[in-house]
Chain A
Amino acid sequence: MKVSIQWLNSYLKERLSTNEIVAALERTEVEIEEVITPPKLDKKVITAKVVNVIDHPNADKLRLVDIEFGKTKRRVVCGAPNVRKGLVVAYAQPGSVLPEDFVIGEREIRGEKSAGMLASAKELGMGNDHSGIVELDPDLPLGISLCDIENMADIVDVKTPANRWDLLSVLGLAREISANSSKNQVVEPKREKIEYKNREVVKVKETGECERFISAVFKIDSNAETPAWIVENLEAAGMRAIHPVVDITNFVMLETGQPSHAYDSKKLKGALQVRFARAGELLSTLDGVERKLTKEDLVIADNSGAIGLAGVMGGASSEVSTQTQEIVLEVANFNKTTVRRSALRHGLRSEASTRFEKGLPLPLPCFAFERAAQLLKEICKAELIGDVNDQLYAWPWISFVGLRQRRAEMVLGTKLNEKEIIEGLRARGFSAEHFSLSAEAKKHLGKPYVYGASFKKNGEEAFDCSYLVERIYSKIGIAIGHTAQQQFNSGKPVEKDNLKPGDLVFYSGHWEKLDAKSRGDIGHVGMYLGKNQVIEASEYEFDTKIGKYIKRKTADVRYTTLDSYTSNPTFKGARRYTESFNHIIAVVAPWWRTDIVKEVDLIEEAAKILGYENMPSKLPELPPMETADHQMLPGLMGMREDLVAAGLFEVTTYSFVSEQDLLDTHIDPTSVLAIENPMSKEQAYLRNSLLSSHLQTVARNNTFYEKEYGFFELARIYEKSPRSKTLAQESWRLAICAVGKNGLERIKSVLDMCESRYQLRLAYKRSEEANFLPGRTATLQSQRIPEVRGLYGQVKPICLKKFSISDEIVFAEIILPDQSIFAESTQKSVSLLPYQLVSRDLTLELPNEVLWQNIALIVKSQKRISRVQFLQEFASEELTKTNKKRVSMRIWIDCGANPSQKEITKYMSAIESTLLADKTLKQVKIV
């Protein structure tokens, strides 16, 4: 919301500078989005007073204006329609330069000299108003430069929190500013005194949706014009001036936070109604759109049908116009949820709906109506026709809350000063006082006993037994129930020997008013005040001598003794509702603070009163957490470091993909989770693989990054799991992508690193995959943790083409199921042998498809073999033709100390014969 500093200041007893206002607002939940300051004006633009206005002899629309400031007099020619005697104006002296380098000179206009000019807001760069000259505050001193009058045209743009309807009003902001600047006071706007009637002139069919409806008919002067100060404030807030009546309702909405609506009464057909729309009912709203309504839309209607979408926007058919002579003014309260849903349904978030959505309090319509009536009278010469009818369908509750000082100190972690808190609350419009149980009780002594008394009926003028104790507890925000039976049931039992002040004492009592059916066990309650004293509201008392209840002469609130309860044969026990009444502040929230309901709301107020800058800084005194179960994320972070050390880039890509991405990587869109409300195509599905995201990444870098490189991402993927409450089975994935030549080797070296780092013992198997080249693709699985599995391979050129990638791409994706990967190694170290191993080289010739992994496994499984090292792979043209390759390796054999040549040969030939005999190696030859 945009508000001019001037407007805010108009509600403050002491005017504040922009900086002071911003500083005050920064101590509240209001967020300053921007302070808009117009360009600095030339010093030569000064204040002056119009002392005389005469017609220009040679021009119809021009006038000769005499102005003065101090003892100086000047004459200027002016064409503004609003120039008149007594006005304080902005006078641009000759030689002054206005925005956009507009130089003011002394010149002749139609034969009359003009010493400079009187400027409009637009000419001064203070707004768009060019309809007339600026009308300044008549109290300003004359002859001073406008640029020295601080904040002339500053505007603050504020964001207000969802729980504070009151801050979405200029008056509400002024209240907060006042509370947060030293010794200021709010000046409430002028309001008419209204005598309300409550005739059902409006047929409110949905009283649950519309808890208050104030309406009245006014005759207005159709020639009235909206005064400049209203126009300026509306424009500062980004609204247009439309019609004086509409402008007033808009102004009152901005000022008080209460939207209202004016109908041209001559255009109405019969009485107003508030009801739900009929399905398909049509309504042309003020924005010129015809809307089809649903049964969930609350409307204002007359005999012709819907004439307004309640709380959202009025209808075109009853719109006020320049011909309007009589209006019906509506100031009502509508259900916040109904309004919000209607506004969303029709894509029509209006200024009004934004306010209703927050939930407006029931006293607000009166305040706003009285203000609107005053402005209508002042500006439109409005005369009330008939009565003002206030139809109220709910009780306007006010909030009593107790603030336990010790609790607040514990929550905030600092000592509080009770006096400071009470004063701070009062400055914010709260009523607040130190709560004293005995003083509170004493206030009610002697008030009459009325059976069934309640706040709605009797206020604090009469009580029955349960209402008296309920009332006392309500002062500190504790709800104990309406009846003595409820109070007995919900409190914490205490022994009669352990009573503390505030505990309630019960006996069965005298049953006259209730029939046997409605009786519970409990007939009477009183509140123990300490020192054998109890306060109660009673009609009967128990006469121990005769053992009977007798009617008291005067039934009222009185002190009695605890003994009179405990010695009563029907004494039922005692109940406790709070451990201590010490250091409690009893608070009543002002009607506009609908956000104050519970103690914690007051603790927050106390924090603001204290000021967060005055809050100390401490560290929690809790022991360190046991982290054994929380190793996944730290483990992944370690993996990140390893992969970066292995020379890879880390990337982060969005978790959602487009349908095209799925199709291009052979994923059936119906097999993955979809987004209900994506804003763009690329957000349509939740990915179950990182392949397409990584191909997109390569494509994005295709023309810019001409290097061979690899990158990785650690992210969760989502698989459909209809039985899960989140519909998804999520798992962590490591994806690695290599771009350019030697991708397989690049990725394999990273996999090898991971394998040894995390002791994965990976097993590779050749595999056929839709997106990968056959013969260059493998699935892999950890033999330590079988859930760790995945695949890697070279992406098919046909697949790459869909992403416009021309490089060679190798991609790997591995499931990281849980933190067991990162478990610290429990392996024992192995001591080195006291002698050297013997090494022998061996070269095999075998079919191409045989994996090195298998050869190594066979060799390693032989006795005495401690290590097999791959040396090289070789394929001559001739070999390639026959689909063969040669593989050389070095074999390390543990032959003990000082082995003989014979022994070594024996081990080697054992290996060779095993290799030759192995069927999985297929026609292997030893070279």
Chain B
Amino acid sequence: MTSQNDIIKALEADLVQASNEHAIAQVKSKYLGNNSFISEQLRLLPGLAPEEKAQKGKELNILKNQIEHAITEAREQLLSSQQFPIKDISLPGQRFKQPYGHMHPASRVLQETYKIFSDLGFAVVDSGEIETDWYNFEALNMPETHPAREMQDTFYIKNNGKLDVLPRTHTSGMQVRFMEANKPPFKIIVPGRVFRNEDEDVTHIWAFHQIEGLVVGEGVSMAQLKGTLLHVVQGILGPEADIRFRPSYFPYTEPSVELDCRYKGQWLELGGAGMINPVVLQNGGIDPEKYTGFAFGWGAERIAAIKYGLDDLRELWRPRFEFLEQFV
């Protein structure tokens, strides 16, 4: 019988010769396979006397472990010594490129806006874009004779000469609708397209996305309006941004203010805000002595223009892909 040491030596010699995985597998089969010495010996075991059987079995087991160990080692040796040819790791990743699209800058602003307001516990409310004269104007304290109607140039829908239905000029039309359908307290934003019958130029587009805010409850105050807007503006434009109120006039809020923001050292007009006019609360079926509320509104495109330094708002509504490509 070959000594166990001889077997190990032969194995080691064979493993040195084995230069790839296939050769190692052959070596493994030679020493551990069906026709190997170990297998032969193991087959003989059942015929041996119990004592001898135990002794022999133990020896064979040790040998088997030694062989397995040597083979595992040889395999690891082979893997760690494997050579890979050099490659240019700076080549463009063309073949497996996974293109990512481009969200519209105004949507990007809306996305952030939703997030900030949702975190403040506001609901984001959907609303129709075609509105009646009542909700868009009359209910908001702007009767037909009100000169403030001219603040917003209005498109009208053809209706046998009547001017009673219109593509909404602002999202504020939703104020009274929401009041009618919901009991205070509530805090919502109403984002959506609005339409103005104006000439289009670098700073004017005849449709844009307005974000309306509406909060009604007991004890809702203008200081809370200021705090909310500060929080939101800083959320959108960064913690360095600041806001200020300037007195203004809107028929549907009183007191009314213009909202300015300071961004990169400059004061910029952002939108309008104010405490909901008691007349509007009344039109929405809410007791203005018990409840107060605030409302605000601004354009997503306006914020996008400030944030991304857009020179020409028309790019946002007359898409050119070379332009949109830069927004990732």
Residues on A lying within 8 angstroms of B by beta carbon are 26-29, 31, 161-164, 336-337, 340, 357-358, 410-414, 598, 600-601, 603-604, 607-608, 612-613, 615-627, 629-630, 632-634, 637, 640-641, 643-656, 673-679, 683, 686, 697, 700-701, 704-705, 707, 709, 711, 715-716, 718, 725-728, 730
Contacts and interface: CB of A to CB of B under 8 A. Distances in A.
Contact of A413 (B222, B244, B319): B222
27 contacts: A162-B151, A411-B292, A600-B254, A608-B255, A615-B222, A618-B226, A619-B224, A622-B187, A625-B188, A633-B114, A633-B191, A640-B107, A648-B101, A650-B101, A650-B102, A654-B206, A656-B155, A673-B130, A673-B157, A674-B157, A674-B158, A675-B156, A677-B155, A679-B206, A697-B319, A727-B157, A730-B128
B46 interface: no
Contact of B254 (A604, A615, A653, A686): A604
A700 B318 contact: yes
B185 A677 contact: no
B157 A615 contact: no
Contacts, number: 269
A707 B321 CA distance: 10
Contacts of B107: 637, 640, 650, 652
A630 B123 contact: yes
A891 B297 CA distance: 57
Contacts of B230: 617
B193 A411 contact: no
Contacts of B275: 411, 600, 603
Nearest to B158: A674
Interface string B185-209: 1111001010101010000001101
Interface size range on B against A: 35 or more
Given A340-B147, A617-B227, A652-B317, A730 B101 contact: no
A591 to B, nearest CB: 20
B158 A600 contact: no
A738 B10 CA distance: 68
Contacts of B193: 655, 715-716
Interface in B222-259: 222-224, 226-228, 230-231, 244-249, 251, 254-258
A350 B150 CA distance: 15
Contacts of A676: 155-159, 163
B19 interface: no
B319 A649 contact: yes
A281 B197 CA distance: 33
A412 B222 contact: yes
Contact of A704 (B129, B155, B244, B320): B320
B277 interface: yes
A621 B219 contact: yes
B156 to A, nearest CB: 4
A888 B272 CA distance: 62
Contacts of A651: 104, 319, 324
A625 B187 contact: yes
Contact of B249 (A164, A618, A697, A718): A164
A338 to B, nearest CB: 10
B222 A163 contact: no
B215 interface: yes
A598 B277 CA distance: 11
Given A161-B249, A414-B221, A617-B226, 13 more contacts: A29-B256, A411-B221, A625-B123, A643-B101, A644-B102, A644-B103, A647-B101, A650-B104, A651-B324, A675-B157, A677-B197, A683-B206, A716-B128
Given A336-B145, A679-B197, A726 B321 contact: no
B167 A727 contact: no
Contacts of A709: 321
Contacts of B249: 29, 161-164
Interface centre among B146, B191, B221, B325 (most CB of A within 10 A): B221
Nearest to A616: B223
Contacts of B271: none
A245 B320 CA distance: 58
Interface string B117-161: 010111111101111100000000000011110110001111100
